[in-house]
Structure 1
Amino acid sequence: MSAIELYARHTPGFEARVDHALAVLREAAARHPGRVVQATSLGAEDMVLTDLIARHGLPIALGTLETGKLHDETVALIGRIEERYGVGVEVYRPVEETVVHFVRTHGEKAMYQSIDLRKQCCAIRKLEPLARMLNGRSAWITGLRREQSNTRAEVPFSEADDQGRTKYNPLADWSWNDVWHYIATHRAPYNPLHDQFMPSIGCAPCTRAIAVGEDFRAGRWWWEDEKAKECGLHVKQEEPAVVSIIGAHA
């Protein structure tokens, strides 16, 4: 079964949640003209946001992190977005020399050796490119939802990040059923890996399919303690260094 067949369900209040998400996006565009970007992980939630932005012609840039370790199916979505919506996607990659040095020092499978090395890999491939994406911008948009994990259970619709930018989370109150009902209704493109029981998709070495009954993010960094399973994109610096994805995607 496809992800749409498995998950797409109309639930009470869906239309109101769509309207509210659009209102949050409009507010972001109005308050930060020319200085707001959707930081898309190319996951299902972010494809909903991209569709809303493009469908309503909102002046919000689209940006993504091409870590060098993404699945081919994920990378292919960049071209599909540009073809479908006629908009460009800013692509930010890690500094090649830094990646080469890290791999030479610690090996291709360093992320499995320790949480510290995995976080260093995330910092090189995600955090530094994200900093370049956000440079000169006063706001950004993510696909974070409260339902995704315990660490995201209180995600607000907007908040200040640790650099003083406004971070908007328009889908904070959406369910997984909502996400897929929207994708089905508007025929929004999505990553085919979602059809292979991968609800949360990050870098290929750090993502696996989940089994029936497993937690939504069980396929991310599955060898680590549950409390450590963050990449850093959505953790403020003053908080404990548990790296959290802009699923992501992160």
Structure 2
Amino acid sequence: MASRILQVLSLFRRDSGPWTVEGIAREMGVSQSSAYRDVQDLSRAGFLDPVTGAGYVLGPAFIEYDRLLRQSDPLIPIASQTMHRLLEDTTQSATAILCRRYRDTVMCVHQEHGAAPHPSTTYERGVAMPLFVGASSKVVLAHLDDRALKRIYLDNETTIRARLKLPDWKAFKAEVREIRKAGFVATVSEVAEGRCGIAAPVLVNKQVIAGISLVFDSAELKDGAPEQFRDAIVAAAQHISEAVAEGGTFVAR
């Protein structure tokens, strides 16, 4: 039953709905009576909400749990202050983004916007991107162990060859290890045209727990910004890493 309940919720990852009981039953290959019981259980718990047309959408329980997640996660309050300082040290015409690995993607868990006009970004909280596209993703990917890296490559070999123009596993591994050695990664127009991203890893006990990045317009490149931005982002990531390692206590720079 628990597994089937999760399957119902997973339908909304593919299509945000509304979903009818009939549609849920058809997609899951179960009877309408079984689907109806699952939907009723989820509705009573607040995870689904009925709408007009006999359909259901995700319910308010997710908002409550998101709030609880923000309150209980020590990384976000630590990172938030550092991200504010990062924008002050670089440019207010940018967005600072904090990402974590989620399955075989990287998901934005927090962002801070600069006070000046800045380019929009598709990387809002809850948005997941492939591990091999964009600075935020690549900096996390580069710090995975070889076993995880090889599995990701094999699962996405065709896409990686097409998008990254890398012929084989050896070339892929060499590229991500170069990122790891450098301690940062910079990309241009990989996620959105005209957008630049520079990212550095947040490491605790030599394990990557997140990536912090700065997203800005490519026009900033004319002013020699990348080197200045790179140093500030690497320093911000190191500061967050140290604060989390010390037990979640924010340490002022």
So what's the TM-score if we normalise by structure 1? 0.29
Structure with max Cα Rg: 2
More strand by share: 2
> Structure with the greater relative contact order (CA < 8 A, sep ≥ 6): 1 or 2?
1
More helix by share: 2
So what's the TM-score if we normalise by structure 2? 0.28
